[in-house]
Amino acid sequence: MDWSDIFEGLNQSSQYKGNLRGNRFPNQRHDSMDELTADEKEEIDYVMALSLAEEDSRKGESKAREANKQQLTRAQLKEDEQLAWAIQESLYIHSPPPYDQGNAIQISPLPSTSSDRFCKGCKNQIGQEGQSLRCMGGVWHRDCLKCQACNLLITDKVSMSSEDRLFHESCYKEHHHPKCDVCKNFLPRSTGAAEYRAHHFWMQKYCPSHEQDNTPRCCSCERMEPRDMQYMILDDGRRLCLECLSSAIMDSEESKPLYDEIREFYKDLDMEVKQHIPLLLVERQALNKAMEGEKNGHHHLPETRGICLSEERIVPTIAKNQRFRISSGIIEMMTEPQKLVRSCDVTAILILYGFPRLLTGSILAHEMMHAWLRLAGYSKLSPEVEEGICQVMAHTWLEGKIDPCGLGNEHVASSSCAQPSLEKQLGEFFKHRIEEDTSPVYGEGFRVGRRAVQNFGLNGTLNHIRMTGSFPL
Three-state SS sequence of 15-65: CCCCCHHHCCCCCCCCCCHHHCCHHHHHHHHHHHHHHHHHHHHHHHHHHHH
Distances (CA, A) of 264 to 154, 260, 279, 365: 68, 6, 15, 11
Residue 253's identity, in one-letter code, is E
Decide if 341 contacts 312 (C-beta within 8 A).
yes
Helix axes 383-402, 256-268, angle to 10 degrees: 110
Topology (CATH level 3) of domain 98-176: Cysteine Rich Protein (2.10.110)
Terminal Cα distance for the chain, rounded: 112
Give pLDDT tens digits along the chain (473 positions).
Answer: 444 444 444 444 444 344 444 444 444 444 455 556 776 667 777 767 777 767 766 766 666 677 666 666 665 655 555 544 444 443 333 333 343 444 445 555 655 555 557 787 788 877 665 567 777 777 777 788 788 778 888 776 666 655 567 777 777 776 667 889 999 888 887 765 667 788 889 989 999 999 899 899 999 999 999 988 889 999 889 999 999 999 999 998 899 999 999 999 999 999 999 888 999 999 999 898 888 866 565 665 557 899 998 876 677 777 654 555 565 566 767 776 766 666 567 899 999 999 999 999 999 999 999 999 999 999 889 999 999 999 999 999 999 998 766 544 544 444 455 556 888 999 999 999 999 999 999 999 999 999 999 999 999 999 999 999 999 98
Q: What tens digit of pLDDT does each residue of 33-51 get?
A: 555 677 666 777 776 777 7
What is the model's pTM? Answer: 0.64
The pLDDT value given to residue 146: 80
Residues of the chain with CATH 2.10.110.10: 98-176
